[in-house]
Protein backbone atom coordinates (compact mmCIF):
# COMPACT_ATOMS: atom_id res chain seq x y z
CA UNK A 1 0.00 0.00 0.00
CA UNK A 2 1.30 3.44 -0.95
CA UNK A 3 0.62 6.58 1.03
CA UNK A 4 0.97 9.95 -0.68
CA UNK A 5 0.49 13.08 1.37
CA UNK A 6 0.41 16.57 -0.01
CA UNK A 7 0.19 20.12 1.23
CA UNK A 8 -0.66 23.20 -0.86
CA UNK A 9 -0.19 26.76 0.40
CA UNK A 10 -1.14 29.72 -1.76
CA UNK A 11 0.14 33.28 -1.49
CA UNK A 12 -3.37 34.56 -0.66
CA UNK A 13 -3.49 32.45 2.53
CA UNK A 14 -5.46 29.52 1.10
CA UNK A 15 -4.25 26.05 1.95
CA UNK A 16 -5.20 22.41 1.68
CA UNK A 17 -3.68 19.08 2.60
CA UNK A 18 -4.73 15.48 2.33
CA UNK A 19 -3.45 11.91 2.23
CA UNK A 20 -4.28 9.36 -0.45
CA UNK A 21 -3.89 5.59 0.01
CA UNK A 22 -3.87 3.08 -2.82
CA UNK A 23 -2.09 -0.04 -4.01
CA UNK A 24 -1.42 1.80 -7.28
CA UNK A 25 0.69 4.94 -6.67
CA UNK A 26 -0.15 6.32 -10.11
CA UNK A 27 -3.84 6.41 -9.19
CA UNK A 28 -2.94 8.25 -5.96
CA UNK A 29 -1.13 10.92 -7.94
CA UNK A 30 -4.05 11.26 -10.36
CA UNK A 31 -6.46 11.69 -7.42
CA UNK A 32 -4.18 14.37 -5.95
CA UNK A 33 -4.07 16.20 -9.29
CA UNK A 34 -7.87 16.20 -9.45
CA UNK A 35 -8.22 17.39 -5.83
CA UNK A 36 -5.78 20.27 -6.27
CA UNK A 37 -7.37 21.33 -9.57
CA UNK A 38 -10.74 21.50 -7.81
CA UNK A 39 -9.13 23.52 -5.02
CA UNK A 40 -7.64 25.96 -7.54
CA UNK A 41 -11.03 26.38 -9.21
CA UNK A 42 -12.63 27.43 -5.92
CA UNK A 43 -14.58 24.21 -5.27
CA UNK A 44 -13.23 23.34 -1.87
CA UNK A 45 -13.91 22.25 1.67
CA UNK A 46 -10.60 23.76 2.74
CA UNK A 47 -9.72 27.21 4.04
CA UNK A 48 -10.21 29.65 1.19
CA UNK A 49 -10.48 33.35 2.13
CA UNK A 50 -12.47 34.47 -0.93
CA UNK A 51 -14.55 31.58 -2.27
CA UNK A 52 -15.89 33.72 -5.14
CA UNK A 53 -12.41 34.28 -6.55
CA UNK A 54 -10.69 31.65 -8.68
CA UNK A 55 -6.94 31.20 -8.53
CA UNK A 56 -5.33 33.26 -11.28
CA UNK A 57 -2.17 32.38 -13.14
CA UNK A 58 0.01 34.71 -11.05
CA UNK A 59 -0.93 33.25 -7.65
CA UNK A 60 2.15 31.73 -6.03
CA UNK A 61 1.96 28.20 -4.58
CA UNK A 62 4.18 26.09 -2.36
CA UNK A 63 3.37 22.42 -2.91
CA UNK A 64 4.90 19.57 -0.95
CA UNK A 65 4.27 15.95 -1.87
CA UNK A 66 5.58 12.92 0.04
CA UNK A 67 5.37 9.38 -1.28
CA UNK A 68 5.72 6.71 1.41
CA UNK A 69 6.72 3.45 -0.22
CA UNK A 70 5.64 0.04 1.11
CA UNK A 71 9.14 -0.46 2.56
CA UNK A 72 8.67 2.85 4.47
CA UNK A 73 11.17 4.84 2.37
CA UNK A 74 9.93 8.37 1.66
CA UNK A 75 10.29 10.37 -1.54
CA UNK A 76 9.74 14.07 -0.77
CA UNK A 77 9.13 16.66 -3.48
CA UNK A 78 8.74 20.42 -3.03
CA UNK A 79 7.79 22.91 -5.72
CA UNK A 80 7.46 26.69 -5.39
CA UNK A 81 6.16 28.60 -8.39
CA UNK A 82 2.94 30.05 -9.76
CA UNK A 83 0.05 27.76 -8.82
CA UNK A 84 -0.57 25.85 -12.04
CA UNK A 85 3.11 25.58 -12.97
CA UNK A 86 3.94 24.27 -9.49
CA UNK A 87 1.15 21.70 -9.75
CA UNK A 88 2.23 20.47 -13.18
CA UNK A 89 5.87 20.26 -12.18
CA UNK A 90 5.28 18.37 -8.95
CA UNK A 91 2.91 15.88 -10.61
CA UNK A 92 5.41 15.32 -13.43
CA UNK A 93 8.27 14.86 -10.96
CA UNK A 94 6.20 12.43 -8.87
CA UNK A 95 5.44 10.27 -11.91
CA UNK A 96 9.10 10.40 -12.94
CA UNK A 97 10.24 9.31 -9.46
CA UNK A 98 7.89 6.34 -9.59
CA UNK A 99 9.10 5.39 -13.07
CA UNK A 100 12.75 5.80 -12.07
CA UNK A 101 12.18 3.51 -9.10
CA UNK A 102 10.18 1.08 -11.26
CA UNK A 103 7.27 1.15 -8.83
CA UNK A 104 3.86 -0.26 -9.67
Check residues 90 and 102 and name the one with the higher pLDDT: 90
Residue 46 to residue 44: CA distance in whole angstroms: 5
Highest mean pLDDT among 17-21, 28-32, 76-80: 76-80
- Can you give the pTM of this predicted structure? 0.81
Q: What is the pLDDT of residues 28-48, one digit of tens each?
A: 999 999 989 888 877 655 555
Q: Reply yes or no on whether the pLDDT at 91 is more than 90.
A: yes
In this structure, how many other beta carbons lie within 10 angstroms of the beta carbon of residue 57?
8
Q: Is residue 98 helix, strand or coil? A: helix
Amino acid sequence: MYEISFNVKLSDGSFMSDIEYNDNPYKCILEILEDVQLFFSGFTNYFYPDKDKEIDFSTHADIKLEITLPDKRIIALIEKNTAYIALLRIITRAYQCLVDNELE
